[in-house]
Amino acid sequence: MRITDTMLYTNASTSIDLARSNVNTATEESSSGLRVTQPGDDPAAAAGVIIHSAAESFATSVQQTATAAVDELQTASGALNSVSTALTTARELAVQMSNDTYNATDRADAAAQVGQIFNEVVAALNTKSGDRYVFGGSQDQTPPFDASGNYNGDTEVRTIEVAPGVQQPASLRADVAITGAGGGTNVLAALTAFQTALTNNDTTGIEAAVGALQTGTSQVAQLISQAGGDMDALSTAATVAQATTLSETKDVSNLQDADVVTAATQLQMAQTALQAALAASTQSFKFSLLDQSG
Amino acid sequence: MGDLLSILSTSANALNTQQSVAQVASNNLDNVDTPGYSRQTANLSSSTLDVLGGVVLGGGVSVTNVTQTRDRFVEAQMPGAQGAAAYTQAQSDALTSVDVLDASNADGISSTLSQFWTALQSLSQDAGDSSLRTGAIESAQQVAASFNSTASGISEAQTGLDSQISASVTQVNTLSAQLATLNTQIRGGTVNGQQPNDLLDARQQVQDQLVTLTGGQVVTDAQGDVNITLGDGTALVSGETSATMAAVPDPTNNNHLAIQITRADGTGPVAESDSSIGGQIGGWLSARDGALQTAANSVDQLAFDFANAVNTAHSSSYGIDGSTGNALFTVGSTAAGTAASITVNSAIVNDPSMLATMGSSTAGDGDATGVQSMLNVENAAVSGGQDPSDALAALTAQFGSSTQQATANSTADAATLTHLTTLRSSASGVSSDEELVNMQRAQSAYQAISKVITTAQTMLDALMAIQTT
């Protein structure tokens, strides 16, 4: 092949350009740590990054909301424990007062004690987490129970989508456990009736209160155990979500990030190729008749 | 008959001839890196002086003509390679310049959608909280803003291509007119087998540029004229006349520029489809109306489907102020242009209590039924049978594939062109070594002929000496 001067210089500049462009790409990859910056770099990986990032973000928000819900359920559970303790005290008092050895004066004193217990229970049921009431369903800005023990909340139960399409309850229905909605006993009404029976020295009423308070205690116990179950489920969901977050982050990284060792090796190779191109070009310029002819 | 004086006269001719050879070599060396220059060769031939008694005596040497060296086989392949390389290069440059669909873009649709779902998820756990409500509305505004910036990123790339097309069309018209003029000049300059080499070089350069811009086909006719036709057969340059190209806004294509040709005879203008234009302009047209438009349409469709799905959930729910039937996102009635125009309902931005979080007007502020139904959109098949993330991933992958293919084609076409350019340069380029040898050869011949003249002179002197004695 006939080699002309233009070829010599064009070839030199083409090969040096190519080598420089490779060095540039390798430097970018090494310095940014990213293998895929534009969709065109690897279309499948770019699409995968979007899907896995969305899954990562979903899992992270599940983890956050589930953890927050567990905290709130703990608060609710603590309040229910106080209610349960108060109800147990009231029931013991009822058993005691139903005994014939107590007279009207004793029972009037006990009535005052039951009034205390009633207030304690209402106060516990009006517990707040943050700036909202935990037992009012969606009516969380006003106290769910008034001083007379009337329920102002609703039947709403909050849920968390712990996995696509899977809703896990994250709040408790105080109306079922306390007001006896759906066929149970109204605990606060039972306390009031007990107090009235004590005031009226009505032993039949006091004996009836023993049973009602017993039922109420078990209703509350049931709700506490439900809270425990919900907390377990949510903690598990948070743990699973944390693991999912980690694995999705890893997937995104695998798709998008440059392998540090490979990137460094490629940079070294590209630099060596550039050096070779420069050296070869310099050599090829050296040989000319111009240097030989005087 | 041969005599001493004729030796002197043929030698004088030979000196001139060798000077011409040296001059051609010198001209070649002068133009060693002139773009478009083809090396020239002085073609020598010996001439007959006389026939003496049946003996043919040589009459020295003369330059028949000076010709260019071109490899017709390589030259025939050049226009196709130039057009293809310019086409794919323009396409690849246009597509790789778009960065709004990069997955790593923190303000991209992918990120803001994720933030929107996270904000709704938090809101679902405390729907009455005013800071969470404001946060959710702000994240909806960010989603709208990311759709806006993605749409404008794509449309800016498209309008950028329009301005490049417009500038190049002007260049095409200048070059077409030049080529037609050069055809005329070359016709006039070709006399008695003498080639107007510099005009031929100039025409070759104009032809190269025109083909690079338009991807036109080159046909050299019997008269030696270079004609250029576009893909649909419309002549851009025909002999001594040239057509006029124009870029006019096309109302059916968002007022992007379309190419029209007014023929050399003044008829037309005829509309040229994207596919009949090649080269750089064709590459820009194909990127603008192909991959970029597809991406713009997909982003519009996603914005439209996403907004409507969220709006359906939102408008059937209730704000804590009891309002209902409101859309969260303000979008038009068709998908076209949605990504550029989508905003969050300003009434809701001004009054966060209108954010429809409740399932009924009588529910408490903490009711998150409305939030849950908006959250359901995250994994619902709302856009072409896909959820929003999958639809976004699909359109990103499609755009990525187009870019990747254009880049791969560009690399391959550039390699073909480089190869042909090397072959062209090998045939037509100047080698300084070769020209130095030619100079040396002319110099040696010149010295030899000078010797002949000295010898003839000595012989004549001897003759003169006889006569004077």
3-state secondary structure of B259: strand
The distance between the two most distant Cα atoms of chain A, rounded to a whole number of Å, is 140
* ipTM here: 0.85
Cβ contact, residue pair B400, A290, below 8 Å: no
Nearest to B310 by CA among B360, B364, B380: B380
pLDDT tens for each residue of A126-137: 999 888 899 988
CB A209 within 8 A of CB A197: yes
Confidence at residue B345, expressed as pLDDT on a 0 to 100 scale: 95
> Could you say which of A2, A34, A289 has the minimum Cβ distance to residue B426?
A2
Query: How many domains are contained in chain A?
Result: 1
Nearest to A238 by CA among A103, A60, A17: A60
Residues 6+ apart with CB under 8 A from A234: A66, A67, A69, A70, A73, A160, A162, A168, A170
- Tokens 């005031």 locate to A199
Q: How far is CA A128 from the centre of its chain?
A: 20
- Chain A and chain B share a number of CB contacts under 8 A equal to 201
Cβ contact, residue pair B114, A3, below 8 Å: no
Asked whether residue A160 is domain-assigned, the answer is yes
> Could you say which of B394, B429, B437 has the minimum Cβ distance to residue A4?
B429
Sign of the dihedral through C-alpha B12, B13, B14, B19: positive
CA distance A55 to A241: 10
Give residue A73's domain range: 49-253
Q: How far is CA B445 from the centre of its chain?
A: 50
Two tokens, residue A188: 């606060």
Percentage with pLDDT > 70 across chain A: 99
> Could you say which of B127, B394, B431 has the minimum Cβ distance to residue A4?
B431
CA distance B179 to B438: 34
A167 beta partners = A161
CA distance B90 to B283: 5
CA distance B84 to B72: 19
Q: What average pLDDT does the segment B224-231 reach?
A: 92
Query: Phi, psi at residue B58, to the nearest 5°?
Result: -70, 150
> Could you say which of B102, B125, B406 has the minimum Cβ distance to residue A160?
B125
pLDDT tens for each residue of A154-163: 888 889 988 8
Q: What average pLDDT does the segment B342-361 reach?
A: 93
Using the predicted structure, report yes or no on whether residue B317 has a pLDDT greater than 70. yes
3-state secondary structure of A142: coil
Cβ contact, residue pair A40, B404, below 8 Å: yes
Q: Which A residues, 148 through 187, put their C-beta within 8 Å of a C-beta on chain B?
A: 153-154, 156, 158-161, 164-165, 167, 170
Cβ contact, residue pair A293, B431, below 8 Å: no
Cα angle, residue A209 at apex, residues A207 and A210 outer, rounded to 5°: 70
Using the predicted structure, report yes or no on whether residue B51 has a pLDDT greater than 80. no
Cβ contact, residue pair B110, A53, below 8 Å: yes
CB B100 within 8 A of CB B154: yes
Q: How confident is the model at residue A294 (pLDDT cuts 50, 70, 90)?
A: low
Report DSSP state, residue B255: T
Q: How far is CA B372 from the centre of its chain?
A: 51
The enclosing domain of A197 has a CATH number of 1.20.1330.10
Burial of A220 (0-12, 13-18, 19+ CB in 10 A): buried
Q: How confident is the model at residue B84 (pLDDT cuts 50, 70, 90)?
A: very high
Confidence at residue B218, expressed as pLDDT on a 0 to 100 scale: 94
Cβ contact, residue pair A293, B396, below 8 Å: no
Two tokens, residue B459: 């012989």
Two tokens, residue B259: 């190419």
Using the predicted structure, report yes or no on whether residue B104 has a pLDDT greater than 80. no
Two tokens, residue A142: 């006003």
Cβ contact, residue pair A39, B103, below 8 Å: yes
Nearest to A253 by CA among A4, A34, A22: A34
Q: Which B residues, 79 through 118, put their C-beta within 8 Å of a C-beta on chain A?
A: 95-96, 99, 101-104, 110-111, 113-115, 117-118
CA distance A178 to A145: 10
Nearest to B209 by CA among B77, B89, B86: B86
CB A36 within 8 A of CB A256: yes
Two tokens, residue A210: 């023993």
Asked whether residue A174 is domain-assigned, the answer is yes
**Closest A-chain CA to B366:** A138
Using the predicted structure, report yes or no on whether residue B2 has a pLDDT greater than 70. no
Using the predicted structure, report yes or no on whether residue B7 has a pLDDT greater than 80. yes
Cβ contact, residue pair A53, B103, below 8 Å: yes
Q: What average pLDDT does the segment B456-461 reach?
A: 90
Using the predicted structure, report yes or no on whether residue B1 has a pLDDT greater than 50. no
CA distance A258 to B468: 100
Using the predicted structure, report yes or no on whether residue B310 has a pLDDT greater than 90. yes
> Could you say which of B102, B366, B392 has the minimum Cβ distance to residue A138?
B366
Cβ contact, residue pair B404, A165, below 8 Å: no
DSSP letters along A100-126, please? TT--HHHHHHHHHHHHHHHHHHHHHHT
B67 beta partners = B41
Confidence at residue B292, expressed as pLDDT on a 0 to 100 scale: 95
Asked whether residue A96 is domain-assigned, the answer is yes
User: A83 to each of A96, A127, B226, B464, how far by Cα in Å?
Assistant: 20, 11, 101, 151
Two tokens, residue B290: 């192909």
Cβ contact, residue pair A289, B432, below 8 Å: yes
Residues 6+ apart with CB under 8 A from B191: none
Report DSSP state, residue B369: H
Confidence at residue B193, expressed as pLDDT on a 0 to 100 scale: 72
Q: How many helices (H) and strands (E) does chain B have?
A: 12, 11
**Closest B-chain CA to A164:** B379
pLDDT tens for each residue of B137-181: 999 999 999 999 999 999 999 999 999 999 999 999 999 999 999
CA distance B277 to B283: 8
Asked whether residue A262 is domain-assigned, the answer is no
Confidence at residue B412, expressed as pLDDT on a 0 to 100 scale: 95
pLDDT tens for each residue of A218-270: 999 999 999 999 999 999 999 999 999 999 999 999 988 888 888 899 999 99
**Mutate: best of A1, A3, A4, partner B, most B CBs <10 A:** A4
Using the predicted structure, report yes or no on whether residue B370 has a pLDDT greater than 50. yes
Nearest to B305 by CA among B387, B396, B376, B371: B387
pLDDT tens for each residue of B386-402: 999 999 999 999 999 99
B50 beta partners = B57
Smallest Cα distance from A210 to chain B, Å: 35
β-strand pairing of B256-262 with B270-272 = antiparallel
CA distance A128 to A178: 17
Two tokens, residue B261: 């040709």
pTM of the model: 0.85
Sign of the dihedral through C-alpha B381, B383, B385, B391: negative
Q: What average pLDDT does the segment B257-283 reach?
A: 92
Torsion, CA B8, CA B14, CA B19, CA B21, rounded to 10: -170
Residue type, A201: N
CA distance B31 to B23: 12
Confidence at residue A32, expressed as pLDDT on a 0 to 100 scale: 85
Residues 6+ apart with CB under 8 A from B39: A4, B28, B68, B69, B428, B429, B430, B431
CA distance B53 to B266: 68
> Could you say which of B117, B366, B400 has the minimum Cβ distance to residue A61?
B117
Domain boundaries, chain B: 4-69+429-468, 74-425
Helix, strand, coil percentages in chain B from 3-state DSSP, rounded to 5: 60, 15, 25
**B323 in reach of chain A (CB within 8 A):** no
Nearest to B61 by CA among B38, B43, B40, B76: B43
Two tokens, residue B215: 């991807």
Cβ contact, residue pair A65, B117, below 8 Å: no
> Could you say which of A47, A68, A139 has the minimum Cβ distance to residue B394?
A47
Report DSSP state, residue A151: B
**Chain A residues near residue B398 by CB distance under 8 angstroms:** 43
Q: What average pLDDT does the segment A96-115 reach?
A: 90
Two tokens, residue B277: 């234009």
**Chain B residues near residue A159 by CB distance under 8 angstroms:** 124, 372
pLDDT tens for each residue of B398-424: 999 999 999 999 999 999 999 999 999
